Amino acid sequence: MGLYQSKPLKEVLRENKRMINRAIRELDREKAGLEREEKRLTIEIKKAAKENQMSSVKVMAKDLVRTRQYITKFIEMRSHLQGVSLKLQTVKSHQAMAEAMQSTAVAMKKMNKAINVPTIAKMMAEFEKENARTEMMQEAMGDAIDDALAEEDTAEEEERIVGQVLDEIGISFGEELPEASMSKPVGAQTNGPTKVAEPAGGVGSNDPALSDLESRLNNLKR
């Protein structure tokens, strides 16, 4: 423990990981050399067996077995070193997370000190009050505008409906609407077009189209 007291944890973890990686590379080199030796021994054993040199075959077979055992041990050692390296990486990640949380806690503490909660509450209350006043003013202005335009809109709507009714029965505003009039003597002359004498009840009482027109106009006046 005394060796690492003067160094920060990040530096210690970096050095240990570098050392483990160096050891893994060395194991890989040694394992590659043993694999080459294994191939050489296999070739020599086959050659001696063909020449019927059984004593040499037995000796080289023992060497081949030991070589394969060491290769297996190197593979196991490499696996252990990789496991240690992963543990160091996990510790490093935990250390980084702890430092980040510590920095966040310090920042949040400073922010909480800088924020004045009563002032914010007062500001929000004033905002709600002014917002309510603004909405009331907008509603009042909208009602005033609607009242000012209501009569004009109604007159335009009435004219439009009357026009639709007259169009349905084939009469335009430029034409004279037939009216009920008193009976005139036969042959009476006027300056305007000659009109046929009508009964006292008027034409409207007998004409369904004019009766419907009169009914719609009466409904518009109500």
Q: What is the DSSP string of 12-57?
A: HHHHHHHHHHHHHHHHHHHHHHHHHHHHHHHHHHHHHHHTT-HHHH
**Whole-structure pTM over 0.85, yes or no?**
no
Rg of the Cα atoms in the chain: 55
Exposed, middle or buried by CB within 10 Å (0-12, 13-18, 19+), for 95?
middle
pLDDT at 36 (0 to 100): 92
Q: Residue 180: is its pLDDT beyond 70? A: no
Coil, helix or strand for 175? coil
Q: Determine the number of helices (DSSP H) and then strands (DSSP E) in the chain.
A: 4, 0
Whole-number Cα distances in Å, 164 to 154, 176, 211: 15, 17, 16
Across 2-11, 68-77, 99-108, least confident range = 2-11
Q: Residue 197: is its pLDDT beyond 50? A: no
What is the arithmetic mean of pLDDT over 150-160? Answer: 64
26 vs 88: CA distance, rounded Å: 20
Q: Confirm if 157 and 181 have CB atoms less than 8 A apart.
A: no
Give percent of the chain with pLDDT exceeding 70: 70
Q: Residue 137: is its pLDDT beyond 80? A: yes
Band the pLDDT of 39: cuts 50, 70, 90.
very high
Q: Residue 178: is its pLDDT beyond 60? A: no
Half-sphere exposure of 151 (CA within 13 A, CB side): 3
Q: Give me the helix-helix angle, 9-50 and 54-114, nearest 10°.
A: 160
**How confident is the prediction for the chain on average, in pLDDT?**
76
